[in-house]
Chains A and B, each alone.
Chain A
Amino acid sequence: MDPYKRLQLARKNGRPSGRYYIENLLTDFVELHGDRRFGDDPAIMAGVGLLCGHPVTVIAHEKGGDIRDKAHRNFGSANPEGYRKALRQMKLAEKFHRPVLCIVDTAGAFAGMGAEERGQGQAIAENLMEMMTLKTPIVSVFVGEGGSGGALALAVADEVWMLENAVYSVISPEGCASILWKDASKVKEACACLKMTAEDLLDMGVIEKIIPETQPETICETLKAQIDMTFRELSALSPEERCERRYRRFRRLGVFGE
């Protein structure tokens, strides 16, 4: 399928976002709010629940359902307090020895005045650093859009998976088109250049797995079984081994001459 069609599917109105996966992957979910610094960011949902009977921490972008909910959740574009809430939950997961599941679905971190005033760059940077040495297993699943640093801030993980029609990119195709051709409407061309589909990323070794998109219920069943299995495998390693593997996972990425 051409990359532009994938982008449209990834962004399609009504496509399940974070909350759907929380509700369908976990039981006994308790949502936990706030970053204890500034506020609670509805663009990121977080909490604890049971996955196949095991307590896990889940952190998910949620784009929102109807238009009011979408506005409330800022269309899934988090402010710094969202990333700080996520980090707080990860630290709790570490304390209580439970793995972390991240569900990524965002066009990107919010580019607003408040976000800048409260240190959007610093908040993302801190997550990247802290996730790299978090002692518990982390799996990140991209279910829709994966926009740049705002997506990566929930994706410094032991394994990163993508749904078949999810995308993951360093810049939005609109942004890329306006820089390259001074024309934001050339999205189609930009999509092809950026290599942002799940297949592209698997080829480049940036993700471990593509989850085929069948019916939403079937996707959740597949995901649940595979996440459970991966958490078991990762839990068999010592925290030091896991952190070393995670470091190596990212350390090898990059193409250059020497």
Chain B
Amino acid sequence: MLNKMNFKKNRNQLEGYNQALETSAPSVPDALFTKCPECGRTTLTAELAENELVCPKCGYHIRIPARSRLLALCDEGTFQEWDAGLFSKDPLSFPGYAAKVKGSRLKTRENSAVVTGEGKLAGMDCAFFAMEGQFMMGSMGSVVGEKVTRVFERAAERGLPVIGFTVSGGARMQEGILSLMQMAKTSGAVKRHSDAGLLYVTVLTNPTTGGVTASFAMEGDIILAEPGALVGFAGPRVIEQTMRQKLPKGFQSAEFLMEKGFLDGVVPRSEMKETLTTILRLHKGGSSYGSV
């Protein structure tokens, strides 16, 4: 029953976002109003869905489930998932890990913290991945590492660009050193894809931190972020502990990273599809001037 939900074809964008609402506000799935987690003000749930889960009052970008994001982005009916069956094992017999994974699978109706596949964007073929923030905070263990690696390997083989949405608390502690190794593994695959002359665009969403920031999130040819997204290597609390001082407001926000030169653009959700489409189109088929 739950699995069926996973593969249900979304007829339109709104349906994707409605499913998104259910998962991001699990306590009030059918409520008429939804409260913004940032400003606390309430909005008609239907209006929020229509606004792509961006609070109309304060502009806060509410987290979207990975699957809804890809279904809403791709041309209708073109998204085909890859490697949906990969699931986590418990290689270190780490206390509480198996139960955590099980809980996340039930909560998100996903097998792992990343959804990958191929689809079309304005008719152009592209490989995609989107991380699932509700699945153990989008942490990267062996499954996330393997699925992301396969995306780049397959895309390189078939000459496809890659667009990836990140949201992650970092490497998954419960798989120990094997999680750390996924940083090297995914980076290697990104490098090979890049050396094949193919485009990789990352979209950093709130929050992207730790081992994901220090690997494939920051390796895009073009790096975009959603407004207000927290992006960093160390989390704010860790930095506050090291520095023994409070961080200034907006430190590690997408806008801050943009100012420091680490992003190509901060793109509101309403403009994301159009921006990505234009970028893909501009990189299609190399130079029209011949070999420059």
User: Which A residues are closer than 8 A to B by beta carbons?
Assistant: 109-113, 115-122, 124-126, 128-130, 132-133, 148-149, 152-153, 156, 168-171, 175-176, 179-180, 193-196, 200-201, 204, 206, 246-247, 250-251, 253-258
- Give the docked Cα–Cα distance between A26 and B214 (Å): 31
* 8 contacting pairs across A/B (C-beta < 8 A): A116-B234, A121-B231, A132-B187, A149-B214, A169-B180, A171-B171, A194-B176, A196-B176
Q: Are B89 and A125 in contact (CB under 8 A)?
A: no
- A126 to B223 CA separation, bound complex (whole angstroms): 14
B43 CB within 8 Å of chain A: no
Whether A255 pairs with B91 at a CB distance below 8 angstroms is yes
The answer to whether A152 and B183 have CB atoms under 8 Å apart is: yes
User: A111 to B181, alpha carbons, bound, how many Å?
Assistant: 21
**Cβ–Cβ contact A254 & B181, under 8 A:** yes
Report, nearest first, the 6 A-B pairs whose CB atoms are least far apart.
A111-B234, A254-B142, A121-B213, A128-B187, A121-B233, A120-B233
- Chain B nearest Cβ from A220, distance in angstroms: 26
User: Bound complex: CA of A194 vs CA of B177, how far in Å?
Assistant: 8
| Chain A residues within 8 Å of B143, by CB | 254, 256
Q: Does B218 have its Cβ within 8 Å of any Cβ on chain A? A: yes
> How many angstroms from the CA of A179 to the CA of B97 in the assembled complex?
13
Q: Which residues of A contact B243 (CB under 8 A)?
A: 112-113
Indicate which residue in B146, B180, B184, B252 contacts A170 across the interface (CB closer than 8 Å).
B180
Q: Are A116 and B219 in contact (CB under 8 A)?
A: no
Most chain A CB neighbours (cut-off 10 Å) among B171, B176, B214, B247: B214
Decide if B145 is an interface residue (CB 8 Å cutoff). yes
B133-162 interface mask toward A, CB cutoff 8 Å, 1 = contact, 0 = none?
000000001110110010000000000000
Q: Are A195's CB and B177's CB within 8 A?
A: yes
The answer on a CB contact under 8 Å between B233 and A115 is: yes
Contact yes or no, A204 B188, CB < 8 A: no
Distance, CA A148 to CA B171, complexed state (A)? 9
Most buried by A among B91, B185, B217, B233: B233
Report the Cα distance A109→B209, complex, angstroms: 14
For the complex, would chain B's binding face be called helix, strand, loop or mixed by DSSP majority?
A: helix
Q: How far is the CA of A117 from the CA of B260 in the complex (A)?
A: 7
Seen from chain B, the residues whose Cβ lies within 8 Å of a Cβ on chain A are: 83, 85-89, 91-92, 94-96, 141-143, 145-146, 149, 171-173, 175-185, 187-192, 194-195, 210-211, 213-219, 231-234, 238-239, 242-243, 247, 251-252, 260-262
Docked-complex contact B233 and A111, CB < 8 angstroms: yes
> Please, which residues of chain A bring their CB within 8 A of the CB of B239?
111-113, 116
* Docked pose: A130 CA to B187 CA in angstroms: 9
Residues from chain A with a CB closer than 8 A to the CB of B145 are 254
- Taking a contact as CB atoms under 8 Å apart, the answer to whether A256 and B187 are in contact is no
User: In the complex, which residues of chain B have a beta carbon less than 8 angstroms from the beta carbon of A109?
Assistant: 214, 233-234
Please, which residues of chain B bring their CB within 8 A of the CB of A124?
214-215, 233
- With A and B bound together, what is the CA distance between A8 and B77 in angstroms? 57
Chain B residue, CB-CB nearest to A116 = B232
A129, A132, A175, A196: residue with the most chain B Cβ atoms closer than 10 Å? A129
B contact residues around A246 at 8 Å (CB)? 188
Given contacts A119-B262, A128-B215, A194-B92, contact A254 B176 (CB under 8 A): no
Do B181 and A253 touch across chains, with their CB atoms under 8 A apart? Answer: yes
- B171 contacts A111, CB within 8 Å? no
Q: For the A-B complex with A119-B260, A120-B234, A170-B172 known, give 19 more contacts whose Cβ atoms are closer than 8 Å.
A: A111-B242, A113-B239, A113-B247, A118-B260, A122-B218, A132-B191, A133-B195, A149-B171, A149-B183, A149-B233, A169-B177, A170-B171, A170-B177, A170-B211, A201-B177, A250-B184, A251-B149, A251-B189, A255-B91
With a CB–CB cut-off of 8 A, which chain B residues contact A113?
239, 243, 247, 251
Q: Are B181 and A257 in contact (CB under 8 A)?
A: no
Closest CB in chain A relative to B108 CB, distance in Å: 17
**Nearest-CB distance from B272 to chain A (Å)?**
22
Q: With A122-B218, A193-B95 as given contacts, are A152 and B178 in contact (CB-CB < 8 Å)?
A: no
Provide the bound-state CA to CA distance between A152 and B185, in Å: 11
A221 to B: closest C-beta gap in Å: 29
With contact pairs A148-B171, A148-B211 given, residues A168 and B177 touching in the complex (Cβ less than 8 Å)? yes
Tell me whether A128 and B86 are in contact (CB under 8 A).
Answer: no
A111 to B211, CA, bound (A): 13
Cβ–Cβ < 8 Å partners of A149 in chain B: 171, 180, 183, 210-211, 214, 233
Contact A253 B185 (CB under 8 A): yes
Contact check: which of A176, A200, A204 meets B173 at CB < 8 Å? A176
